[in-house]
């Protein structure tokens, strides 16, 4: 009980800290770094997993680095990243936005998506166009290196 209480206090504290940091980030104008894309298509009840939270994914919702997209048996989701990369998931799928680096001014590019399960389609954007060797989709059976543009992955029997 004590342990649980202590953990809750720590979680509460870290949430407060996170909020404080976020506000600080907003003030310093670097919050955009964490903003990597937005939800465009949402059918059924797909979710965005952010830390330990499962948030209903609604159209227009902004996505952050390390967010995971998750669909259930009846849901689908379509998103667009800030370089124009588009990703869509069919039912019972999960994908994490691991790395997103799009700084054309500095010549810095990187994209790593992790597909854990399910079925997904991808259309690459500016990152692949400007830096063809810096985009990867990781799956449980191998990695996919992208030179563009449109492709799809299905894990498990279908």
Partner 1 sequence: MTRLATIVILLSLVLGGCGAKQAPAPTIAPPPANAIALLPEDDGSVGRIAVSNQAGAVTLEAPNTITLVAAIDVAPAAPAQVDPAEITRRFGTALDAMPAAQAEFVLYFDLGDDRLTAQSQALVSSIMEAVAQRQSTDVSISGHTDTTGTMSSNYQLALRRAERVAEILVAQGLAATSLSVESHGEGNPLVRTADGVEEPRNRRVEVTVR
Residues 48 and 29: their CA atoms lie apart, in Å, by 24
Secondary structure (3-state) at 19? helix
Residue with tokens 């949402």: 42
Nearest distance in Å: CB 68, partner 1:
16
Which is nearest to 116 in space by CA: 141, 88, 79, 147?
Answer: 141
Nearest-5° Cα angle at 149, 145 to 153: 60
Among 48, 111, 113, 120, binds partner 1 (CB under 8 A): 120
Nearest-5° Cα angle at 27, 25 to 31: 35
Nearest distance in Å: CB 4, partner 1:
38
Does residue 123 interact with partner 1 by CB under 8 A? yes
Does residue 16 interact with partner 1 by CB under 8 A? no
Residues 37 and 85: their CA atoms lie apart, in Å, by 9
Q: Which is nearer to partner 1, 14 or 43 (CB)?
A: 43
Residue with tokens 């227009």: 60
Among 80, 96, 97, 111, binds partner 1 (CB under 8 A): 80
User: How many residues sit close enough to partner 1 to count as binding (CB under 8 A)?
Assistant: 53
Does residue 34 interact with partner 1 by CB under 8 A? no
Helix (H) / strand (E) containing 3: helix 2-28
Does residue 158 interact with partner 1 by CB under 8 A? yes
Which is nearest to 144 in space by CA: 64, 87, 102?
Answer: 87
Does residue 50 interact with partner 1 by CB under 8 A? no
Nearest distance in Å: CB 122, partner 1:
9
Does residue 90 interact with partner 1 by CB under 8 A? yes
- Binding region for partner 1 (CB under 8 A): 32, 37-38, 40-41, 43, 59-62, 76-80, 82, 84, 86, 88-91, 93, 104-105, 118-121, 123-125, 128, 139-158
């Amino acid at each position: 009980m004590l342990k649980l209480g202590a953990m809750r206090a720590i979680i509460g504290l870290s949430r407060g800290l996170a909020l404080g940091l976020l506000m600080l980030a907003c003030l310093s104008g670097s919050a955009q770094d964490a903003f990597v894309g937005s939800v465009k298509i949402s059918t059924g009840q797909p979710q965005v997993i952010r830390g330990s939270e499962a948030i209903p994914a609604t159209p227009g919702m902004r996505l952050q680095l390390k967010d995971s997209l998750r669909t259930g048996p009846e849901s689908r989701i379509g998103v667009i990243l800030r370089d124009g990369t588009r990703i869509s998931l069919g039912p019972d799928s999960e994908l994490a936005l691991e790395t997103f680096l799009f700084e054309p001014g500095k010549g810095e590019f990187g994209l790593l998506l992790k597909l854990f399960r399910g079925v997904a389609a991808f259309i690459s954007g500016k990152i692949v166009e400007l830096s063809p060797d810096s985009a990867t989709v990781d799956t449980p059976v191998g990695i996919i290196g992208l030179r563009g543009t449109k492709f799809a992955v299905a894990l498990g029997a279908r």
